[in-house]
Amino acid sequence: MPSKNPAFSRGFGNAGPGQQSAGWGNAPQYGTPQYGAPAPQQDAYTAPSPYGTTADMRYMTMDDVVTKTGLSFLVTVLAAAATWAMPGQAALGLALPAVLIAFVLGLVIAFKQIANPVATLSYGALYGVALGAISEVFAAQFGSGIVVQALIGTFGVFAGMLVIYKTGAIRVTPKLTRWIVGALIGVLVLVVVNLIASFFTPGGLGLRDGGPLAIGFSLLVIGVAAFTLLLDFDLADEAIRRGAPAKFAWYIAFGLLVTVIWLYIEILRLLSYFQDE
Render pLDDT for 28-45 as a digit per residue (tens, 0 to 9). 333 433 334 344 444 433
pLDDT at position 28:
38
List beta partners, residue 245.
Answer: 59
pLDDT at position 205:
86
Q: Which residues contact 144 (CB under 8 A, 6 or more apart)?
A: none
Segment 248-253 mean pLDDT: 95
- Of the pLDDT bands very low, low, confident and very high (cuts 50, 70, 90), residue 259 is very high
**Whole-Å CA distances, 251 to 72, 94, 100, 183:** 11, 26, 20, 23
- Of the pLDDT bands very low, low, confident and very high (cuts 50, 70, 90), residue 56 is low
pLDDT beyond 90 at 70: yes
pLDDT at position 89:
75
Mean pLDDT of the chain: 81
pLDDT beyond 60 at 101: yes
- Of the pLDDT bands very low, low, confident and very high (cuts 50, 70, 90), residue 14 is very low
Q: Which of 242, 218, 259 is nearest to 72 (CA)?
A: 259
pLDDT at position 146:
94
pLDDT tens track for 157-214: 999 999 999 998 999 999 999 999 999 999 999 999 998 988 888 878 888 888 899 9
pLDDT tens track for 107-128: 999 999 899 999 999 999 999 9
